[in-house]
Amino acid sequence: MGGLSYCNGTIQNNTIWHNIATNTGGGLSDCYGKICNCIIWANEAPGGGAQLYSPAIPTYSCIQDWTGSGMGNISLNPQFADPKNGNFHLQADSPCIDAGCLIEYLTTDYEGDTRGYDGTSEPRHDGSDYDIGAEEYSGVVPTPVTTLVPTSIYAPLISKLSDIFISDTEDNTETMDVNFFRFQNALDLDAYVSDLDTTIS
């Protein structure tokens, strides 16, 4: 299992990076709900579907090597500031800036930055200026306090995942000092989990 499997709820404005599956679906596997405004990048799966395996059709997402259908999708490098050290903020030249779609009830990112910051000189996609991914570019690239969820999540009962990171915490624990991770807007509540090996089911 890779980053997120068997989730039939909404997956929006998430960053799903560097998860490794034992077979198929490094990023998302068998997720049939709405997938939008997500960055799905650098995931691995020896059996195929490194980023997505048997998914719903994503929209307004940045997906590595994506050649499938879906409105507003791009496959350009998202230009993270320093992902290996936990900085998933978008650099000023990121193609993900202003390239997402409007989600009316999702008005801030997980750091509290207002969604819809106009970070480019030209209009992109639906004109809402929503960024793709968990971070909203705000003109600066701060040093982050990054919150990650575990390498694998089995989540058939979660209705909404928004503004979170799904990444291989085992590879990043030492450099990122990950002690807690947070689901924001999942079932309209915050769930705090302190065990990095916990599987949500």
**Whole domain around residue 23: which residue ranges?**
1-201
SS3 173: helix
Instruction: Provide long-range contacts, Cβ within 8 A and 24+ apart, for 181-188.
Output: 181/147, 181/148, 181/149, 181/150, 182/110, 182/147, 183/149, 183/158, 184/110, 185/106, 185/160, 185/161, 186/158, 186/159, 186/160, 186/161, 186/162, 187/158, 187/159, 187/160, 188/160
Reported as a single tens digit per residue, the pLDDT across 130-145 is: 999 999 998 865 555 4
Cα–Cα distance, 114 to 120 (Å, whole number): 16
Reported as a single tens digit per residue, the pLDDT across 88-131 is: 999 999 999 999 999 999 999 988 899 998 988 777 877 899 99
Number of structural domains the chain divides into: 1
The reported pTM is 0.75
